[in-house]
Amino acid sequence: MILFLILILTCTLVPAYSNQPYDDVNVLSNFDIEYHSDIKTGAGGSSSSSVQAASTGGKKKQGLSVGSSLRSIAEGSSNTAKDAVNNQDAAGYQAAYVAKNTLAQSAAGASATAQAALAGKQIILQGLEQQFRDAQQGLRGEQEQLMQAQRAADSTNRAAQEARAHVNVLQQTLNAAQAAADHVTQAASEAAGELAAQQAMVGSAIQRLDQLGQQLKSVRIDFQATQAAAQKAQAAAQTAAANAAAAAAKAAAGLAKAAQLPPPPPPPQVPKDNGGAGGKGQGGAGGKGKLTAPFERDFYKPFEYER
C-alpha cells in the first residue's frame, strides 16, 4: 500500500518538473561539427573527460568551441536540479503526509480490525479458559475415579489372591481327603474281602462242626453201646475171676485138708491202680490177681474198666 502511494506521487511530480523549458532547446544543433568529429575519431585526447566536466561544473574545458550552448545547457540543468532540490522537501513532506495519513487511516482500520480480532480472540480465550477449567475439573474427577477404580482393582486383586490361596488350601485338603478316601476305600475293600473270606471260613467251620457233631453223636452212641458192653464184659470177667478164686481157694483147702496142712490164707484183695499186675496168691494153686484200669463215663476223659 505504501509503495503504491509513493509510486503515484512520483508519477505526478516527475512530469511536472520535466515540463520546465530549457534555454536552448536545439543544443545538439549548435555543437561544433569538428568537435564531434574529433570525439568520434579519438583526436583531442581527453575530450570525453572534458565533456563530462563541462556538463557537471559548467567551466570552460579544452575541446569546446567558444560561444557554444553547453553552458546554457549546464546552467539550465543546474537550475532544474536546484528547483528539484528545493521542491523535493515540499514534495517529500506532502508525500509523507499523504502516506502517513493513508497509513494512519490504514493503521486505524487495522487497529479497529485488531480490536475486533482481539475481542473475538478474548471471547475465544475466555471460552477456551472456561473449557480448560472444565477440562481440569473433569480431569480431576476422572483422576479421582481412576484412583477409586485402582483401589477397587487392588482390593479385587487381593481378594482374588486370597480366593486362589483358599482354593489351593481347599484343593490340597480335597486331595488329602481324596487320598484318605481312596485308602479307606481300599481298606474297606480289603476288609470286605477278608470279611468274605472269614465268613467263608466260619461257614466252613460251622459245616465242619456240624459234620463233627454228627460224627460225635454217632461215635457217642457207639461209645455208649461199647461202654455198656465193656461194663457187662467187665462184670462177667469179675464174676469169672471171683469164681476162679473161690474155686482155687476151695481146691487149696481140699488139698491142705488132705495133707493135714493148715489152710492157706484168703487171697488178698486186688488193689485198684493203673494197670497193676496181679500177683500170685500165697498157697493154693496161686491164681492170678484181678487187674483194673481207670475209666470215666465222660467222653473226653479216660474211663476205668476191669478185666
Q: Could you please report the per-residue DSSP string of 207-259?
A: HHHHHHHHHHHHHHHHHHHHHHHHHHHHHHHHHHHHHHHHHHHHHHHHHHHHT
pLDDT confidence tier of residue 231, bands split at 50, 70 and 90:
very high
pTM recorded for the entire structure? 0.29
CB 244 within 8 A of CB 237: no
State how far the Cα of 100 lies from the Cα of 105, in Å rounded to an integer.
Answer: 8
95 or 201, higher pLDDT: 201
pLDDT digits (tens, 9 = 90+) for 136-171: 999 999 999 999 999 999 999 999 999 999 999 999
Domain map (residue ranges) of the chain: 75-211
Which grid coordinates belong to 259?
495133707
CB 227 within 8 A of CB 303: yes
77 or 151, higher pLDDT: 151
Mean pLDDT, residues 234-246 taken together: 91
State how far the Cα of 129 lies from the Cα of 92, in Å rounded to an integer.
Answer: 50
Q: How far is CA 116 from CA 11, 103, 110, 120, 122, in A?
A: 37, 19, 9, 6, 9
Identify which of 69-83, 249-263, 266-280 has the greatest average pLDDT: 69-83
pLDDT digits (tens, 9 = 90+) for 6-58: 556 555 544 444 444 444 434 344 444 444 444 444 444 443 444 343 344 44
The answer, yes or no, to whether residue 222 has pLDDT greater than 50, is yes
CB 272 within 8 A of CB 305: no
Q: How far is CA 292 from CA 77, 226, 247, in A?
A: 204, 18, 21
> Quick check: helix, strand or coil at residue 96?
helix
**E strands of the chain, at which residues?**
292-295, 303-306
